[in-house]
Amino acid sequence: MSVQKLWVHNLPEQAGQLSGGTTVVIDLLRASSTICQALASGASEVVPFREISEAMAAATADGVRRDDVVLGGERAGGKIPGFDLGNSPSEYTPDAVGGKRVLLTTTNGTQALWHGRSARRVVVGAFVNLSAVVASVKDETRVDFLCAGTDGRETREDILAAGAMVYRICSSAPKDQQLNPNAALALGKWRRLLLAAYESRRSESEQLAMELRDTQGGRNLLGIGLDQDLVNCAQIDRLNVIPELDVRAWRIRLAH
């Protein structure tokens, strides 16, 4: 039986080259969750940008009808001046983004997507699409889970999401797995959360939403009054979507 490699990278700069395998990019709070919601709400595609100026230039390029695109994203957690939407998943409703291209730039998530561009396949993972992502990658020979972090620092929320994906794959795939040390640690963190949920008689989503309040990203959102984003991003399996990055075309669309 072949050995499946499950590698977790707590920060993009720790990952090195990712060619040859499948990479799951995770920026739980909130780019990954927002991308999932935008596509579930009918956006035709999400185009990630590292810089604000790049996104704005794309929105005003020759031949682009401004009504056909949505500028979304954040800096320091807040909506960017002149943009249509911030980075809260709840903003990306069918009325706001249905049938439109979303041009997205965030502090950490879109940077992580850029780092993962050398992988054979790149998908976007979050708790809201946990089962869909796991089903899509569970038979891959190697899966790298690329955590975005926050401003160059490891974040527990991304590591928990990676741990949940490793847990689901190890529980469902009939093969031997080889975990790197970060994957083993992430798996342990998720198992402890599951135990806490069981002991407190909370659902996994309820326990997760509570614990997100004490993560780096969670505290940042609480500090700017975006408490509800923690609840929304903790809703496990709310969406059945697999956002996949077409590196050559540089756009994210739903995988089929």
Q: Cα–Cα distance between 106 and 109 in angstroms, integer?
A: 6
Mean pLDDT of 139-161: 96
The CA distance from 95 to 185, in Å, is 41
Q: What tens digit of pLDDT does each residue of 50-107 get?
A: 999 999 999 999 999 999 999 999 999 999 999 999 999 999 999 999 999 999 999 9
Peptide bond connecting 30 to the previous residue in cis, omega within 30 degrees of 0:
yes
Domain ranges for the chain = 3-254
pLDDT digits (tens, 9 = 90+) for 219-240: 999 999 999 999 999 999 999 9
Give per-residue pLDDT as tens, 11-20.
999 998 888 8
Percent of the chain with pLDDT strictly greater than 70: 99
pLDDT at residue 173 tops 70: no
> Would you place residue 215 in the very low, low, confident or very high pLDDT band (cuts 50, 70, 90)?
very high
**Whole-model pTM above 0.95?**
yes
Q: Mean of the pLDDT values across residues 15-42? A: 95
What pLDDT score was predicted for residue 73?
A: 98
Q: Which distant-in-sequence residues (6+ apart) come within 8 Å of 171 by Cβ?
A: none
CATH fold of 3-254:
putative 2-phosphosulfolactate phosphatase (3.90.1560)
> pLDDT value at position 28?
98
**Confidence at residue 16, expressed as pLDDT on a 0 to 100 scale:** 82
Kindly give the residue spans of alpha helices, DSSP state H, lying in the chain.
31-40, 52-59, 94-97, 109-115, 130-137, 156-172, 181-200, 204-212, 216-223, 227-233
